[in-house]
């Protein structure tokens, strides 16, 4: 996934996500995280967008990531 022009994940989500499942590297770039380990730590702590396994590979559904961001925005707005 190309690096977004801005580090705001909402802008990247509004501009459209790819029509494929996202990789942990995509999530790292999308949220401008310091390392890929952060994605795995989020998953372990269940604080990030929900992912799923395809064999040994971790993947994220773009629609689920978008919904997760929207939920976070609602929580932060309260």
Domain extents in the chain: 21-77
Name the nearest CA neighbour of 17 among 32, 34, 1: 1
Residue-wise pLDDT for 7-62, tens only, equals 566 666 666 666 789 999 999 999 999 999 999 999 999 999 999 999 999 999 99
pLDDT tens-place string over residues 48-70: 999 999 999 999 999 999 999 99
Q: Which H helix or E strand runs over 75? A: helix 62-77
**pTM score, two decimals?**
0.74
Q: What pairing do the DSSP bridges indicate for beta strands 52-54 and 57-59?
A: antiparallel
């Amino acid at each position: 996934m190309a690096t977004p022009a801005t580090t705001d994940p909402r802008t990247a989500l509004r501009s459209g996500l790819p029509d494929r499942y996202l990789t942990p590297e995509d999530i790292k770039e999308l949220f401008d995280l310091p390392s890929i380990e952060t994605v795995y730590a989020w998953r372990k702590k269940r604080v990030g967008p929900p992912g799923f396994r395809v064999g040994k590979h971790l993947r994220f559904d773009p629609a689920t990531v978008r919904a997760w961001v929207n939920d976070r925005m609602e929580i932060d707005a309260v």
